[in-house]
Amino acid sequence: MTDRYGVLGHPIAHSKSPLIHSLFAAQTGQNITYGQLQLPINGFVSGLKQLIAEGWQGANVSLPFKTEAFGVANVLTARAQAAQAVNTLTFMNGLIYGDNTDGAGLIADLTGSLLYPLQKKRVLIIGAGGAARGVIQPLIDAGVAQLIITNRTYEKSAALAKFFQVDALALHECVNSFDLVINATSASVSGLLPDIPVSVFGPYTLAYDMFYAKEPTAFMRLAAANGARTADGLGMLVAQAAEAFFIWRGIYPATAPVLSVLRQKL
Ligand code: NDP
């Protein structure tokens, strides 16, 4: 019997998850199907119940449904609770299990693919939306020495910093350089830059943009021009999917070959 999974969002046509999971399944010999489904903006919960009734075993959740998925889950992992958002659902024994694999995906990409140990690092996160929220606790757990959150709307970064007991600074106050600067804003989606002083970058800085595109983003270009090493979020995308695949199938697929296929297709 073939187990059924898929990704839910609105819109969803752009999703790379079906390709990633079909490559994982082929690589590990798992008998699954993985589709994509656009649910109506106001129809997430009813759509989900129908999928469960049809026999789906799990689903990834994309924008804008991650908060609703958090609300509908009967059982939440600690990392989903910290993120207050769910991107991976498992349907088992009549219950809905919710998890969030974004933070683990970032950590796996940094430490596993980019060979960047996080212990004792000074980290700046730019952005205070859902993506930032999902990675803060995993970065703290990975042993960073300092974590500062900054955001265009300062109040949002201050609220996040208070929740996770770290510090917030206004963008213009970020004058010192950091070991790791993470762009968790959606500015790159529109080819824009967060208004950050270039002094945050130094020759030992890794500048990581969670967004990914065929060419380096404006944030990556600015960081490189100021001496930093750069990376985009494609590795995080593949690694968060690998975490979800592991939750469902109990096998952690190799991410490097899948990342290389996706990179070629950008
Ligand atoms: P949200 O909409 O929740 O948050 C957007 C954030 O970006 C806010 O902090 C917002 O600031 C800030 N922002 C938007 N435009 C600008 C701008 N022009 N200048 C400065 N700040 C700006 O988005 P998400 O947190 O869900 O996603 C953020 C990014 O992370 C996206 O690019 C997304 O593609 C990427 N992502 C990548 C993943 C991966 O696996 N690689 C996984 C998840 C997300 P304000 O509060 O002031 O509005």
Supply the CATH number for residue 79's domain.
3.40.50.10860
The token pair at 224 is: 């490189």
Q: Check whether residue 219 and residue 253 sit in a common domain.
A: no
Q: Check whether residue 45 and residue 125 sit in a common domain.
A: no
The single residue listed with the structure tokens 């080819």 is 191
Shortest-distance Cα residue to atom 39 of ligand 1: 237
Q: Check whether residue 69 and residue 158 sit in a common domain.
A: no
Provide Rg for the chain, Cα atoms: 18
pLDDT tens digits for range 82-93: 999 999 999 999
Q: Check whether residue 128 and residue 208 sit in a common domain.
A: yes
pLDDT in the model for residue 183 = 98
Residue 66 designated active-site: yes
Ligand 1 pocket, residue 196 CB under 6 Å:
no
Q: Residue 30: CA atoms inside 13 Å, Cβ hemisphere, count? A: 21
The token pair at 71 is: 């609300």
pLDDT in the model for residue 210 = 98
Q: Check whether residue 227 and residue 242 sit in a common domain.
A: no
Q: Which residues span the domain enclosing 29?
A: 3-100+238-265
Q: Check whether residue 92 and residue 120 sit in a common domain.
A: no
Q: Check whether residue 120 and residue 225 sit in a common domain.
A: yes
Ligand 1 pocket, residue 221 CB under 6 Å:
no
Distance, in Å, from the CA atom of 207 to the CA atom of 184, rounded to the nearest integer, reads 11
Q: How far is the centre of ligand 1, averaged over its atoms, from the C-alpha of 25 (Å)? A: 30
Q: Check whether residue 151 and residue 208 sit in a common domain.
A: yes
Specify which residues 168 forms β-bridges with.
Answer: 149
Ligand 1 pocket, residue 127 CB under 6 Å:
yes
pLDDT tens digits for range 2-22: 999 999 999 999 999 999 999
Tell me, what CATH number does 154's domain have? 3.40.50.720
Q: How far is the centre of ligand 1, averaged over its atoms, from the C-alpha of 185 (Å)? A: 3
Q: Check whether residue 209 and residue 242 sit in a common domain.
A: no
Low-confidence residues of the chain: pLDDT under 70: none
Q: Check whether residue 132 and residue 246 sit in a common domain.
A: no
Report the domain count for the chain. 2
Catalytic residue (choose from 16, 49, 66, 214) = 66
Q: Check whether residue 124 and residue 160 sit in a common domain.
A: yes
Amino acid at 70: F
pLDDT in the model for residue 1 = 82
Shortest-distance Cα residue to atom 32 of ligand 1: 186
